[in-house]
Amino acid sequence: MRPRIVVTRKLPEDALALLREAGDVWLPEPDRALPAGELHDAVAGADGIVCTLHDPIDGALADAAGDRLRVVSTVAVGHDNIDVAALAARGVVVTNTPGVLTDATADLAFGLLLSVTRRLGEGERLLRSRTPWQFDLGFLLGTGLQGTTLGIVGLGQIGTAMARRARAFGMSIAYTGRRRADADVEAELGARYLPLDALLRESDVVSLHCPLTESTRHLIDADALAAMKPTAYLVNTTRGPVVDEAALADALARGGIAGAGLDVFEKEPDVHPGLLELDNVALAPHLGSATLQTRTAMATLAARNAVAVLRGDAPLTPVRG
């Protein structure tokens, strides 16, 4: 029997073609985020599920799929939406797409940093509101990055790519995380390892690149924000719940920190209304990996992972539970 492959969101054609070679593909028409009830119904009898980062995939969903389910392949590097242990207990392999979105995400993180420190959003809003303006030497002054310190939380692939960009802008690098980076990575980046509290106190920019887990949920809360310099900026391109968004909106409004660049939000697609009122925040709607090249590479890798498991081969990039 041909495997049944449930794809929760429309994928680039190349990826769909790989899946269609391997099995019978079902996907929602028209493309939309499936509400939980519809997702449960859709997966019944699935051998494989190809999902995205907002689909909650837990043991109950695997049970709704039934005993044929062998693989859940997410088109994302972050897999906080998937209960990997519950799936492993049911013999289901989970795969993600590391590596292929590293540069795109680091580019976007650095873009948000430039946007907020050079006040690009404010400038654009000023022009679009047709407010009269004139060049003068004090007009819309921002903050230069040269000679400042970037504190990276989570020096994985994306954190390292962010640090490389920062080095090219003349920044020095500090980092924190569960473990020390390899000595050659530390040497290449000139990166100093610091505990989180010291990193927050010393950095001019704090950029988040850790995954969302129970230990990183609200890692950046009111106390963490209070530890940062009032002149410091926060960049978040990982997952919204790593930051207490209400505490961040409050710190930004009070001048507790200087600004923020945010690509992710606690309750996507909603954004804390306080953030929308503030000029010292650069906002993007979860665009970290959103280039044509990167999304094609992610979807193709996700499809190859699903096909490999369905054929009885080892997946290319399994998530280890």
286 catalytically annotated: yes
Question: 4 or 165: whose CB is closer to ligand GLV?
Answer: 165
Tell me, residue by residue from 3 to 32, as one string, x for binding to ligand GLV by CB under 6 A and - for no binding: ------------------------------
Exactly one of 9, 209, 272, 304 binds ligand GLV (CB under 6 A); that residue is 209
Exactly one of 158, 257, 307, 309 binds ligand GLV (CB under 6 A); that residue is 158
Question: Is 218:241 a contact under the CB 8 Å cutoff?
Answer: yes
165 catalytically annotated: no
- The residue from 4, 79, 286, 304 that is catalytic is 286
Task: Measure the CA–CA gap between 139 and 20, rounded to whole angstroms.
Answer: 57
Residues in 57-86 at the binding interface with ligand GLV, rule: CB under 6 A: 76-78
Cα 192 to Cα 109, 182, 186, 210: the distances in Å are 21, 12, 7, 17
167 catalytically annotated: no
Q: Is 261 a binder of ligand GLV (CB under 6 A)?
A: no
Question: What is the smallest separation between the CB atom of 75 and ligand GLV, expressed in angstroms?
Answer: 7
Exactly one of 3, 151, 241, 288 binds ligand GLV (CB under 6 A); that residue is 288
Cα 46 to Cα 71, 275, 312: the distances in Å are 9, 41, 16
Q: Is 259 a binder of ligand GLV (CB under 6 A)?
A: no
Peptide bond into 273 cis (omega under 30): no
**What count of other Cβ atoms lies within 10 Å of the Cβ of residue 297?**
20
Residue least distant from ligand GLV (Cβ): 156
Tell me, residue by residue from 94 to 133, as one string, x for binding to ligand GLV by CB under 6 A and - for no binding: ----x--xx-------------------------------
SS3 state at 238: coil
Task: Measure the CA–CA gap between 150 and 160, rounded to whole angstroms.
Answer: 12
- DSSP one-letter code for 192: E
SS3 state at 73: strand
How many residues at the interface with ligand GLV, by CB under 6 A?
14
Question: What is the smallest separation between the CB atom of 87 and ligand GLV, expressed in angstroms?
Answer: 17
Q: Is 53 a binder of ligand GLV (CB under 6 A)?
A: yes
The two beta strands, 233-236 and 48-51, are unpaired
Residue-wise DSSP of 93-161: EEE---STTHHHHHHHHHHHHHHHHTTHHHHHHHHHTT------TTTT-----TT-EEEEE--SHHHHH
- The residue from 239, 272, 295, 304 that is catalytic is 239
Q: Is 282 a binder of ligand GLV (CB under 6 A)?
A: no
- Site residues, ligand GLV (CB under 6 A): 53, 76-78, 98, 101-102, 156-159, 209, 288-289
Q: Which residues are catalytic?
A: 239, 268, 286
